[in-house]
């Protein structure tokens, strides 16, 4: 889809192009050329992602998401849930087991 978009963007830059010329340029442009244009467009877009504020935001969000997913997984194990049954050959279709982890008892003093 991105290849088509870059080709359309490149071809539609000239407003005086006729419909026949537009079709011809779409049909006869080599795919390698369109891929190179796409790579250049992606590299230009990466400049924003490499700036310091974006990197720090990405690191902070990544840490928060990691902690959220970790808490969610622990809560699922504490509440109990059905999990797929696996053997050495892989997942057994239609077989599930209920697992529930109990928290450790409080220390006895």
Express each pLDDT in 57-104 by its tens digit. Answer: 888 899 999 999 999 999 998 999 999 999 999 999 999 999 999 888
Residue 55: phi and psi, rounded to 5, are -65, -45
Report, as an integer, the average pLDDT of 6-30: 72
pTM: 0.43
Q: What pLDDT does 36 receive?
A: 82
Query: Long-range pairs for 40-48 at CB < 8 Å and ≥24 separation?
Result: 41/6
DSSP assignment letter at 93: E
Express each pLDDT in 33-67 by its tens digit. Answer: 877 877 877 776 666 667 788 788 888 899 999 99
Compare 5 and 85 and report the one with higher pLDDT.
85
Distances (CA, A) of 70 to 67, 82, 99, 101: 5, 18, 17, 15
What's the CA gap between 65 and 57, in Å, rounded?
A: 12
């Amino acid at each position: 889809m991105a290849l088509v978009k870059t080709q359309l963007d490149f071809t539609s830059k000239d407003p005086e192009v006729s419909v026949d010329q537009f079709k011809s340029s779409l049909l006869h442009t080599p795919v390698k050329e369109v891929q190179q244009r796409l790579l250049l467009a992606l590299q230009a877009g990466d400049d924003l992602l490499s700036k310091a504020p974006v990197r720090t935001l990405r690191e902070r969000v990544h840490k928060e998401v990691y902690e959220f997913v970790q808490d969610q997984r622990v809560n699922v194990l504490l509440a109990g849930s059905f999990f797929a049954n696996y053997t050495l050959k892989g997942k057994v279709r239609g077989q599930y087991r209920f697992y529930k982890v109990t928290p450790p008892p409080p220390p006895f003093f």
